[in-house]
Chains A and B, each alone.
Chain A
């Protein structure tokens, strides 16, 4: 009895959807054996010969040379049992679904009719019935359920502009939300006008750690030591030029020679002439304690808060040693690794507020000390040189001191000395 099988076009490469029929190697009435080449086809990738998977008699060629055929389309019919008894019915029945099922190509997308098929969900109602029921608006989709289609830069834009992508209707291909969709929605974007409760606008953070210590120290200092602050603007052009010159010398190769290091050196030198700034008021003993050493505190802003590590015996250090010590201390402080011993028993402090881009301030003395110097930002400013207006690099210094220990005379002299050496290191030779 005839046993007809249809040979569907396979995807001969990876993910091809169609092929051109080049020429047939067989015709109806030919006997074929397993793996006999029956047809030559050409795909986007290669011209290949197709072997037939069965032995039998070719009864019909279903496609013609030159025709473009989709993967999965039957291309010829073979009778697997041509020598058997004649069929009782018509010789060419419709192909049995079972046979087609068996030879379904493994890969590829199949013919379009197959692609269009999609299995229905169980219990799904006809579409019309669903529409009859009150349907929730798409915009009311719960968060996390519906993911809007938008490319990452567009998502970023929406986030920056505070636009909720889920409230937008995409006009791009396939409903993708575009930049224009996001921009177009901003004027009436409800996100910007979103009311917030007062609770959202305030935060309460417990006071502890460095913040607490800083607060206690500042209050104690401000309410026990009568503060006086003096200001001095200096032309630091010579220092900056000198710094430029020496920075390539061997001893400075390994260190970062900052203006702060010059200020530190100037403080150490000036403190020799005015030892009062390096003294401290002892309330209990009713004595003033003069110190023959300078433990120089460098105020450092760290992620943990304000830390003031000390350069021990700063007055005995060279400029290079000072620069290296400052660099090391501040780096350690920023890493949060300053040991407690390095934060105690300072004699003088420099606060480099210039790094924050400000010109000056009225610093508060660190408890246990009598003076503090604030270093402003160095900027190009108009300046009178030899009766002529010139552009110079200018820095403002401010000194706060404890008036119990230091009078205006000593404070002013010290600030002037620091300013002179800081502005032009050549002046150091006079100390």
Chain B
């Protein structure tokens, strides 16, 4: 059936609004020639003269490393989901299906670069050396991003949608003001990468981040994981045109990359970070991927999307294509795959044990990190509160 004729946007205008059919077609088109792909879902390496140089150091060992990264992170993610179902976590935010986007971007970052996550970036956290146990505390509601974010160069998780984009824009502007871009000695240069989703692109914060970063040439890579669903809202409710095209309106480059292709995500992220470090200003990357599980454990995606959509995306699985590529080209044997599987199960076991044994912080904790130095009013409040709590009988006495 041919798509319906487009209707004029404004009476008398020469431009026509795209029909809903066209909008959805464009947004869902994964064979978009503009979406960079270097490793096909069938595991075939596609040559690309512009981006291949960014993978010149990636040999079989490195590729096996990315495979391990993705398997471990996925296993961690599944364990987190199970722990929530068993009543051990208040909530869990699954990353299932987005491993390539996160490992590709995360492995492109150098130790000096700064990363601003939202709340689904378990894979990026892994790449930054954050102990995955430390992430659990957030979801057990007993801790809040307790890693040293200056040392890890990975800020606390941001729950408010899009807020971290403003923080990252400010940080990247600071990098520029401090002369950390465009130096002839490239070791002195650094950049920032901020992670957000397709839903966040409708937030004012993200727009403001785009504006500030662009006019100040801030070294900021906007890494948008378009996983097609903002909870239950599909991408066609966020934008009329592909999200990476938004960058054009702000005057910086935008690129769409196959978000399930770890090599493409790595190459594009390296290129974008290089642009930033050179002082050329921000870059938007739209990693076209798919959230294969629910938005969070509180969500039920079967209520708003069809199962064949999920089945289609399973064929584009980010881990499977690397596995096929390694196996078919004789780069890895079953022993390797088994050892990674065993390692991931051991990681899950550790996470599980840690979760059950995680100490419950005392009630004084809420007062502990408000001020840097002791504060007499707060100290008095804490003492009063602890005194109040001490006035109860032990639990179980009555």
Contacts and interface: CB of A to CB of B under 8 A. Distances in A.
B19 interface: no
B355 to A, nearest CB: 10
Interface stretch (A115-123, A143-151, A388-396): A115-123
Nearest to A50: B85
Nearest to A107: B90
B309 interface: no
Contacts, number: 79
B85 A10 contact: yes
A122 B393 contact: yes
A12 B393 contact: no
Contacts of A107: 87, 90, 141
Interface in B40-58: none
A327 interface: no
Contacts of B86: 7, 10, 50-53, 103
Contacts of B394: 119
Contacts of B88: 10, 53, 106
A11 interface: yes
A130 B398 CA distance: 18
B298 A45 contact: yes
Contacts of A121: 391-393
B351 to A, nearest CB: 12
Contact of B356 (A9, A52, A102): A102
B85 A47 contact: no
A48 interface: yes
B391 A46 contact: no
B85 A14 contact: no
Interface residues of A, number: 31
Interface string B372-391: 00000000000000000011
A46 B298 contact: yes
A106 B89 contact: yes
A45 to B, nearest CB: 6
Nearest to A34: B352
Given A13-B297, A14-B91, A107-B141, A48 B85 contact: yes
A48 B303 CA distance: 12
B393 A120 contact: yes
Contacts of A67: none
Contacts of B356: 102
B298 A122 contact: no
A122 B87 contact: no
B interface, over-half SS: loop
A45 B294 CA distance: 12
Contact of A120 (B82, B91, B398): B398
Interface string B139-154: 0110000000000000
Given A10-B85, A11-B87, A48-B85, A106 B398 contact: no
A47 B297 CA distance: 11
Contacts of B298: 12-14, 45-46
Interface string A308-321: 00000000000000
Contacts of A46: 294, 298-300, 303
A47 B87 contact: no
Interface in A100-140: 102-108, 119-122, 124
Interface in A53-107: 53, 102-107
Nearest to A108: B87
Contacts of A34: 352
A258 interface: no
A49 interface: yes
B13 interface: no
Given A120-B392, A121-B391, A122-B392, A106 B90 contact: yes
A52 B88 CA distance: 12
Interface string B75-113: 000110011111111110000000000000000000000
A209 B363 CA distance: 57
Given A10-B85, A49-B85, A119 B91 contact: no
B302 A47 contact: yes
B142 to A, nearest CB: 9
B85 A106 contact: no
A34 B75 CA distance: 14
Contacts of A120: 392-393, 397-398
Nearest to B297: A12
Interface in A1-35: 7-14, 34-35
Nearest to B79: A35
B141 A106 contact: yes
B5 interface: no
Contacts of B397: 120
B395 interface: yes
A280 to B, nearest CB: 64
Contacts of A108: 87
Interface in B122-142: 140-141
B393 A48 contact: no
A103 B83 CA distance: 11
A102 B83 CA distance: 14
Interface of A: 7-14, 34-35, 45-53, 102-108, 119-122, 124
19 contacts: A12-B84, A13-B297, A45-B299, A46-B300, A46-B303, A48-B85, A48-B297, A48-B300, A53-B82, A106-B87, A106-B88, A106-B89, A106-B140, A107-B90, A119-B394, A120-B393, A121-B393, A122-B392, A122-B393
